[in-house]
Chains A and B, each alone.
Chain A
């Protein structure tokens, strides 16, 4: 129940395409976090969601906190080469933050 299931595991898209990925769990959460890891670097927080149904944007990125509180979605519009990397969903658990296994985004020229 504590695991976060991300899909897809990896994506190969053409530059300019829109991207959608999601994260699900069997447990209800009060907070969803989305991080991005650029190649060779540590993850960086992109978006934090605190309310069911909440839709939050950060530039071309939009994340939604699912109504059931068991899922979250991240969309990237008009992808560009610098969007390449691994996208992690995460959620706080006590003192810690639990991460999903990530969605690896590849962009074809």
Chain B
């Protein structure tokens, strides 16, 4: 089974609207971290937001928020007030704490977001 599943290969959103990018994960660890990264067409990986498994509140960073539903093992990224510059690939990633390798990130396959003017 995949550890990180992003079911939306591509998403379209109208400028200024909100969009939700889905991410579900699979782990038996109690302690883990979830990340979202943005990869624009230029190729660099840009950190957006982090959620720890023990964090009680959903993480927020400016226009980004993470809708963390622990029981459902989902960590959806919500982008409010979309901008043209938000067009990019978005990757969900997880860091587990077991096995002594808590430095590894496991990435999903990504969602390509296109913001239309």
Chain B binds chain A? no
Residues on B facing A (Cβ under 8 Å): none
Residues on A facing B (Cβ under 8 Å): none
